[in-house]
Amino acid sequence: VSKKMAIQLPSNEPVVGVIDTPFDENVYFSDWVGATNIIGKDISLSSKDYDHGTAIDSIIVDGPSLNPNLDDGCGRFRVKHFGIASSGRTNSFKVTKRIEEIIAKNPEIKVWNLSLGSENEINKNFISAEGAALDRLQTEHNIIFIVSATNKGSDDSDEKKIGAPADSINSLVVGAVDKNRHQASYARKGGVLSFFIKPDISYFGGDRGDYLKVYKSDGEYETSGTSYSAAWITRKMAYLIEVIGLSREVAKAL
């Protein structure tokens, strides 16, 4: 049984944008998240469709409370959350279109977390349409996307390449390592176009025997994945850009 979590009300903490599956507004940190659901009304949602987006927000808002051993000293962040996809397969054209609309309508948000990725491998000869769209948006709006490097399934080969949009050149693409800093069992392989190294960085994402704690609709949960390592890096980027005031280029370099 999960312990009862509590959190104070937000004040003037920085706001991070999250584009993911929908957010469950019944969790203990819901006051910290402003959620908008823009999935088509023709798609019926089950409770599990809310799990991924809610878990991502739990790390960005309150990760150190759930994982005291990973306390990064960055504090808490508010989230502006956009639910654009269910937990099943998504139409990449629709997803890209929705992302473009969201960015255009929220110019005040500079740090964006995006952990929706393709199961298919990237093409070795060209950038995906989704990756190219993220590159263009970052240039036009002076923003940064923190993108998960996608996971492989237990039956995938050891050399499975990352999936779109983790081939975005300008995004900060985040892979995952275990507690010993070895590549996580679910990690996929970069680079992009043979000369861009991806992922740009890796962070602890949980793995067999040593999982991350997140918070979902039904409480605390142990899990692993590049989505969650990316959420931790999103916290650090938001701290460097929104709290310290560094440019996105300097923050990314650091």
String of DSSP letters for 14-78: -EEEEEES---TTSTTGGGEEEEE-S-TTS---GGGGHHHHHHHHHHHHHHHH-GGG--S----E
Residue 96's pLDDT band (cuts 50, 70, 90): confident
Stronger pLDDT, 92 or 116, i.e. the higher one: 116
pLDDT at 176: 87
Stronger pLDDT, 77 or 47, i.e. the higher one: 77
- Residue pair 42/97 in contact (Cβ under 8 Å)? The answer is no
pLDDT at 187: 64
pLDDT at 192: 64
- Residue pair 202/174 in contact (Cβ under 8 Å)? The answer is yes
CA 32 to each of CA 60, 71, 144, 254: distance values in angstroms, whole numbers, following the listed order: 10, 19, 21, 27
Stronger pLDDT, 193 or 8, i.e. the higher one: 8
Which of 49-58, 123-132, 214-223, 243-252 is predicted with the least confidence, judged by mean pLDDT?
Answer: 123-132
Amino acid at 176: A
pLDDT at 79: 98
pLDDT at 139: 94
pLDDT at 149: 82
Instruction: Residue count of the chain, please give it.
Output: 254
129-169 residue pLDDT tens: 888 899 999 999 999 999 988 766 666 667 777 676 888 88
Average pLDDT over residues 228-239: 97
List, in order, residues 6 or more apart from 75 with CB less than 8 Å away: 13, 239, 243
CA 113 to each of CA 30, 84, 154, 197, 247: distance values in angstroms, whole numbers, following the listed order: 18, 13, 25, 20, 17
Amino acid at 164: A
- Residue pair 242/154 in contact (Cβ under 8 Å)? The answer is no
Distance from C-alpha of 144 to C-alpha of 119, rounded to nearest angstrom: 23
Q: What percent of the chain has pLDDT over 90?
A: 55
pLDDT at 111: 97
- Residue pair 72/235 in contact (Cβ under 8 Å)? The answer is yes
- Helices then strands, each counted (H, E), the chain: 5, 9
> What is the average pLDDT score of the chain?
87
Q: What percent of the chain has pLDDT over 70?
A: 84
pLDDT at 1: 37
Average pLDDT over residues 61-67: 96
Stronger pLDDT, 30 or 132, i.e. the higher one: 30
163-221 residue pLDDT tens: 768 888 899 999 889 898 888 776 666 666 666 777 889 899 988 889 999 999 889 99
pLDDT at 119: 66
- Residue pair 253/172 in contact (Cβ under 8 Å)? The answer is no
Question: 230 - beta bridge partners?
Answer: none
pLDDT at 231: 97
List, in order, residues 6 or more apart from 43 with CB less than 8 Å away: 86
Stronger pLDDT, 89 or 132, i.e. the higher one: 132
CA 203 to each of CA 94, 144, 219: distance values in angstroms, whole numbers, following the listed order: 30, 18, 24
